[in-house]
Amino acid sequence: MKKSSINYFCAILVASVLFNACTSDNKEQQTKPVAQDSTTVFILQKQEVNKKFSFPSELTPLERAEIFAKVSGYIKTVKVDIGDKVQQGQVLAIIEAPEMLSNYAQASADVQFANSKYIASLDAFTRIENAAKVNGTVATGELEKSRNQMLADKAAHEAAKAKLNAYAQLKDYLTIRSPFSGIIVQRNADIGTLVGTANNKPILVIENTATLRLKVPVQEAYTTAIPDSSFISFTVDAQPDKKYFAKLSRKTGAINKDNRTETWEFIYNNSKQELKSGMYANATMKLGRSGTSFVVAPSAIATTLEKRFVIRLKNGKTEWIDVRNGMNTGDKIEIFGNLNEGDTLLLKATDEIKEGTKLIGKIKK
């Protein structure tokens, strides 16, 4: 009986010790603060944005004309060949069209016949009109008949002259002249070649290469940026060590839907004929904003299939802020969104950090 009491007492003592230990652990867990994750953050500030960009571009002639035949005929003479320099108005080729010359001669004869008939009817009307001044000499019907005949012959004469002018214009098309001063870069017809409006290839192609257009496709994100100068420098593969300069002339004012670029056109004086039209060039230009913008490190921007955002830390909790990218200066990216100067942003943003996550920010030094 005494041994049983001792065992019972020992069991109660062990249970009391275990209960006190558990209660102590619970109190320690309740009083110990829950540790929060920390992350590197930075304070958002506005800065000047500018960068030197390289654009693939192309040199094109100031003027280019493909010469086709307006009328059907055979090439009688070609007075130029590729590489020839020509002046505005210079004869390039002559087309032979006997049928057209025959039509012109016939139209000329018709004009002479109509003119003779009109002169005769005009003279007859004048005589009858003068005679009619004496009462009772000429009947009223005869006077009107003579007048109508004269007017009809006059209209026929005018129609014949218009027809002759039309044939004369077509006759002028037989002589092909240069529309401007330039260089012949293509020749696709020889003597005896049948030409006309049905031809797909031009007889000649002429280009004005004394002045070249440098066409630069500027990405949509940079189209509102301001160049630091009206001049742009560029190089070509034919002379990679030499730098050329062209002056800004015009912009298209619209975005190309195929490649989302706006074409900026620069003018280069090529009077020495150093460069050729059709050359590809690498153009370099420094662009910047008129004011300041928000710029962040690329790591501060998170991208998913649905959105692009930065993570703002406000009152110890995270917020996803949608942004749009602007100019990329390499180590920094311009962003636009519902942001304010002085906002605290995470330096490394990721979609694994959900909105409302409690974080402690450590300012990047």
Residue 12: predicted pLDDT: 54
Structure confidence at residue 5 as a pLDDT band (50, 70, 90): low
Q: Is the pLDDT of residue 28 over 80?
A: no
Q: Is the pLDDT of residue 352 over 60?
A: yes
Retrieve residue 223's tokens.
Answer: 């189209």
Provide mean pLDDT across the span 95-110: 84
Average pLDDT value over all residues in the chain: 85
Q: Is the pLDDT of residue 200 over 60?
A: yes
In the chain, the percentage of residues whose pLDDT exceeds 90 is 48
Lowest mean pLDDT among 101-105, 161-165, 292-296: 101-105
Fold of the domain spanning 66-187: Four Helix Bundle (Hemerythrin (Met), subunit A) (1.20.120)
Tens of pLDDT, residues 280-337: 999 998 888 877 889 999 999 999 988 999 999 999 899 999 999 888 877 889 899 9
Structure confidence at residue 146 as a pLDDT band (50, 70, 90): confident
Provide mean pLDDT across the span 193-205: 89
Q: Is the pLDDT of residue 199 over 70?
A: yes
CATH of domain 39-48+293-363: 2.40.420.20
Residues composing the chain: 365
In the chain, the percentage of residues whose pLDDT exceeds 70 is 89
Compute the half-sphere exposure of residue 352: CA atoms within 13 Å on the CB side of its CA: 2
Lowest mean pLDDT among 9-23, 64-78, 202-216: 9-23
Q: Is the pLDDT of residue 33 over 50?
A: no
- Measure the CA–CA gap between 216 and 53, rounded to whole angstroms: 11
Q: Is the pLDDT of residue 154 over 50?
A: yes
Q: Is the pLDDT of residue 15 over 70?
A: no
Domain ranges of the chain: 39-48+293-363, 53-61+210-291, 66-187
Residue 36: predicted pLDDT: 54
Structure confidence at residue 16 as a pLDDT band (50, 70, 90): low
Contact 96, 76 (CB under 8 A): yes
Provide mean pLDDT across the span 248-276: 93
Of the two residues 29 and 315, the one the predictor is more confident about is 315
| SS3 (DSSP) at 177 | strand
Which strand (E) or helix (H) includes residue 176? Answer: strand 175-177
Contact 335, 309 (CB under 8 A): no
- Measure the CA–CA gap between 353 and 359, rounded to whole angstroms: 10
Nearest to 344 by CA among 322, 321, 323: 321
- Measure the CA–CA gap between 92 and 179, rounded to whole angstroms: 10
Give residue 237's identity as a one-letter amino acid code: D
Q: Is the pLDDT of residue 6 over 60?
A: no
Give the largest CA-CA distance in the chain: 179
- Measure the CA–CA gap between 251 and 262, rounded to whole angstroms: 7
Residue 7: predicted pLDDT: 54
Provide mean pLDDT across the span 22-36: 47
Retrieve residue 21's tokens.
Answer: 């230990």
- Measure the CA–CA gap between 101 and 95, rounded to whole angstroms: 11
- Measure the CA–CA gap between 128 and 126, rounded to whole angstroms: 6
**What percentage of the chain's residues is helix, strand, coil (to nearest 5)?**
30, 40, 30
Q: Is the pLDDT of residue 22 over 60?
A: no
Write phi, then psi, for 226 (nearest 5 degrees).
-110, 125
Q: Which residues pair with residue 247 across a beta bridge?
A: 231, 267
CATH class of 53-61+210-291: mainly beta
Q: What is the distance, to the nearest Å, from the Cα of residue 149 to the centroid of all Cα atoms in its chain?
A: 62
